[in-house]
């Protein structure tokens, strides 16, 4: 029975206790009286009835007030305490019951807090023992995570349903690049835990490769399959598949439970090879006619040595013109395909500053020669064999010190087109071309170490050049190393160094089954997209627009803070000045950003096949619903509201604002009123609410929706 119903019953009982004895006594007395006595009694009562009625009503009111006070302190107070105790038991161990109410209730609250402190001591001890027992498992897990994160190849692990269980940083960057185009926005990546690999690769090809692997396993052969596929954007991918096998060796045939994919984007390689082949073909065919003309002219010059001088001049002119055209054609081809015709020695993408710093340390430590930085671009990336290049710089420095007694060295970098320039500069005597040639061709010796390479070998390995030049005005000279620039992709790939190692693996997902969203599935079994919006104002129906959408995914009860959608939106209308201090988004920040027509399809793809979660979801969903006609997109999946779920779990708490819920559940966040940060905070709240909902018997999406609809806050409309 609900507390309010019990309070109403208590009032009824109080009324009966106050009036019941008088009514029963009056009936008994009335039944034993004569007619005349009854008339006298009626006259007496009629004269005294108003005073008695007022006294009864006054007494009843005092009784109701006292009863209400006791109900608030002992019934509702204890109910609120029970909710707080459940918080201590589950969602927030550090929460403590507030010492409010009468002394008896305060004593009970203090006893509960003391028990919680004792419980925490025991739990800390248990947690320490569990952490110690799991240390070796976590160590192995972290080793695998580190290995996967640092691999230069894109690696993806899937279960048999094609659901992604693991991927490394290279795969995330590669598929993010594949998903970006003129109509896509940041966050619209194709890859994510729990997502289907078939959104990237052809399902038929993957299943065919699985069948090949099963056949090879049955025949006792090495289990591996390779195929080339085309993405929706026309990119060519080379994929190698190896199986993930279950079972213990020696105990029956192993079963394939999943597969590992290594993926290479070979589009650029094939395009370059096709262009090179076309150029070589054109060069061959174009040179054939010129060679024919040259041969004919030379044959005439040889056969007729006494020919007329004017005619001889014409034949010589033919030879000269055709040779010039062939030379020009050859130069153009070499210039256009210089990158692809360089040596195939494997080069890594490195910061030029890192190479210079490594060379500086060795020169200063070993040669005791001071070095300085002069106009070095700290963001310049080059393709280099860093070991041989650093050794070459040290070799040059030692030669300059030994032969010309230089006092210091300076380093400088610059770039032009596809080339990077690394200069090593000194002040002093000029060197001769013969000396430079000798240094260039001899085997390098530096710091007591010997390399099998010469300076020319190092330069050729990089497909570059080296030259010597004087700066006469400054009385300086320098060697310039001409090196290939790294592609922009290499700059993006190193973003992991500043963000730490992300959690891109979840081995429990091997048990995941490919099912559509079912309202009767357990809340803990589903994949969620928790999102938030920042807007120009609070009135979506009166023209306010979205200016930011932020979202993160929850997979297998884990909030994946690296699988996010975060995009500022151009609202195509001025921002309200009073709202800018709240969300911190200015006119300059939205200017040039994509509008909602471009952003919403990306967000729709990001959250497909997931349940949506938001705090005060009715507000955010109203903005999305108003864009249905304009964009043709509808968000038809179930939507859970953490504001309503908080009201379900804690009906006796005063506030269910996000700030209040965060404080109540012991969740700390850095900033508020940023769409992505608020979405992440809402995700943390939802995960804390799950066990509290389960205590109330709410374990499925349907039950959560039905319970939410019964709360007072569900009546709010926008």
* The two three-digit tokens of residue 537, written as one number: 């104002």
- Per DSSP (E only), the strands in 214-345 are 225-230, 236-246, 255-265
Element spanning 107, H or E: helix 103-150
Burial class (CB in 10 A: 0-12, 13-18, 19+), 74: middle
Contact 226, 205 (CB under 8 A): no
Read off the DSSP letter of residue 544.
-
β-partners of residue 470 are: 477
Burial class (CB in 10 A: 0-12, 13-18, 19+), 57: exposed
State the distance between the two ends of the chain, measured CA to CA, in whole angstroms: 34
In our burial notation (b when 16+ CB lie closer than 10 A, e otherwise), range 446-469 reads beeeebebbbbbbbbbbbbebebe
Burial class (CB in 10 A: 0-12, 13-18, 19+), 298: middle
- Residue 603 CA to residue 550 CA, distance in Å, equals 9
* The two three-digit tokens of residue 74, written as one number: 């002992």
Distances (CA, A) of 644 to 263, 523, 549, 657, 668: 44, 15, 21, 10, 21
β-partners of residue 482 are: 421, 465
145-150 CB contacts, 8 Å cutoff, 24+ apart: 145/501, 145/503, 145/504, 145/505, 146/501, 148/504, 148/505, 149/496, 149/501, 149/502, 149/504
Give the position of tokens 């709010």: 716
β-partners of residue 156 are: 167, 261
- Residue 632 CA to residue 634 CA, distance in Å, equals 7
Other Cβ atoms within 10 Å of 282 Cβ, number: 12
β-partners of residue 531 are: 551
Mutual angle of helices 433-441 and 386-404, in 10-degree steps: 140
Contact 530, 651 (CB under 8 A): no
* The two three-digit tokens of residue 115, written as one number: 């028990």
Q: What is the DSSP string of 428-460?
A: S----HHHHHHHHHSEEEETTEEEEEEHHHHHH
* The two three-digit tokens of residue 683, written as one number: 């995700």
- Tell me if residue 445 is catalytic: no
β-partners of residue 581 are: none
Give the position of tokens 């056969």: 303
Please tell me whether residue 163 adopts helix, strand or coil conformation.
Answer: strand
* The two three-digit tokens of residue 130, written as one number: 């569990």
Supply φ then ψ for residue 484, to 5 degrees.
-75, 140
The alpha carbons of the chain give a radius of gyration, in whole angstroms, of 40
Q: State the catalytic residues.
A: 673
């Amino acid at each position: 029975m609900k507390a309010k119903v019990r309070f109403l019953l208590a009032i009824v009982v109080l009324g009966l206790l106050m009036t019941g004895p008088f009514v029963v006594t009056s009936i008994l007395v009335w039944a034993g009286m004569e007619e005349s006595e009854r008339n006298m009694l009626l006259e007496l009562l009629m004269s005294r009835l108003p005073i008695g009625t007022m006294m009864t009503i006054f007494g009843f009111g005092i009784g109701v007030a006292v009863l209400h006070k006791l109900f608030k302190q002992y019934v509702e107070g204890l109910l609120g305490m029970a909710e707080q105790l459940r918080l201590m038991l589950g969602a927030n161990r550090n929460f403590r019951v507030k010492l409010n109410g009468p002394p008896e209730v305060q004593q009970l609250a203090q006893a509960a807090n003391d028990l919680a402190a004792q419980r925490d001591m025991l739990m800390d001890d248990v947690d320490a023992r569990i952490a110690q027992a799991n240390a070796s498992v976590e160590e192995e897990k972290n080793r695998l995570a580190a290995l996967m994160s640092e691999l230069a190849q894109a690696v993806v692990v899937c279960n048999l349903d094609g659901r992604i269980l693991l991927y490394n940083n290279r795969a995330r960057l590669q598929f993010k690049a594949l998903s970006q185009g003129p109509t896509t926005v940041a966050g619209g990546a194709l890859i994510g835990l729990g997502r289907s690999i078939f959104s990237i690769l052809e399902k038929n090809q993957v299943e065919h490769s699985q069948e090949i692997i099963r056949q090879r396993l049955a025949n006792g052969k090495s289990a591996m399959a390779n195929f080339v596929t085309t993405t929706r954007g026309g990119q060519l991918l080379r994929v190698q598949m190896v199986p993930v096998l279950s079972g213990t060796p020696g105990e029956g045939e192993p079963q394939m439970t999943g597969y590992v994919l290594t993926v290479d984007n070979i589009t650029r390689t094939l395009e370059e090879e096709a262009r090179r082949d076309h150029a070589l073909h054109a060069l061959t065919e174009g040179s054939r006619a010129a060679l024919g003309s040259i041969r004919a002219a030379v044959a005439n010059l040889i056969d007729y040595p006494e020919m007329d001088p004017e005619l001889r001049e014409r034949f010589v002119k033919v030879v000269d013109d055709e040779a010039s055209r062939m030379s020009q054609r050859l130069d153009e081809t070499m210039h256009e395909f210089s990158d692809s015709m360089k040596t195939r020695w494997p080069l890594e993408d490195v910061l030029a500053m890192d190479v210079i710093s490594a060379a500086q340390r060795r020169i200063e430590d070993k040669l005791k020669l001071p070095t300085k930085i002069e106009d070095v671009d700290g963001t310049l990336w080059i393709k280099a064999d860093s070991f041989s290049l650093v050794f070459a710089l040290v070799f040059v420095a030692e030669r300059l010190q030994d032969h010309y007694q230089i006092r210091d060295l300076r380093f400088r970098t610059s770039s032009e087109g596809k080339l990077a320039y690394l200069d090593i500069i000194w002040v002093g005597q000029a060197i001769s071309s013969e000396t430079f040639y000798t240094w260039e061709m001899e085997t390098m010796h530096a710091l007591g170490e010997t390399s099998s390479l010469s300076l020319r070998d190092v330069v050729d390995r990089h497909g570059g050049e080296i030259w010597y030049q004087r700066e006469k005005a400054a009385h300086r000279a320098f060697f310039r190393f001409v090196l290939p620039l790294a592609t922009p992709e290499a700059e993006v790939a190193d973003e992991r160094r500043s963000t730490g190692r992300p959690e891109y693996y979840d081995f429990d997902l091997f048990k995941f089954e490919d099912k559509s969203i079912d309202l009767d599935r357990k809340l803990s079994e589903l994949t969620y997209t928790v999102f938030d919006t920042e807007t120009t104002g609070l009135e979506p129906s009166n023209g306010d627009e979205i200016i930011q959408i932020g979202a993160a995914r929850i997979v297998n009860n884990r909030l994946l803070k690296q699988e996010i959608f975060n995009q500022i939106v151009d609202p195509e209308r001025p921002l309200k000045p009073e709202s800018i201090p709240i969300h911190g988004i200015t006119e300059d920040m939205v200017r040039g950003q994509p509008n909602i027509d471009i952003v919403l399809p990306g967000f729709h793809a990001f959250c497909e096949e997931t349940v949506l979660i938001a705090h005060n979801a009715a507000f955010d969903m109203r903005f999305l619903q108003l864009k249905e006609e304009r964009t043709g997109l509808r968000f038809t999946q179930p939507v859970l509201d953490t504001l309503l779920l908080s009201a379900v779990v804690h009906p006796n708490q005063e506030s269910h604002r996000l700030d209040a819920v965060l404080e109540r559940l012991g969740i700390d966040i850095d900033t508020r009123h940023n769409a992505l940060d608020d979405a992440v905070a809402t995700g943390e709240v939802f995960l804390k609410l799950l066990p509290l909902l389960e205590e109330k018997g709410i374990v499925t999406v349907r039950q959560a929706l039905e319970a939410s609809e019964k709360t007072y806050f569900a009546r709010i409309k926008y």
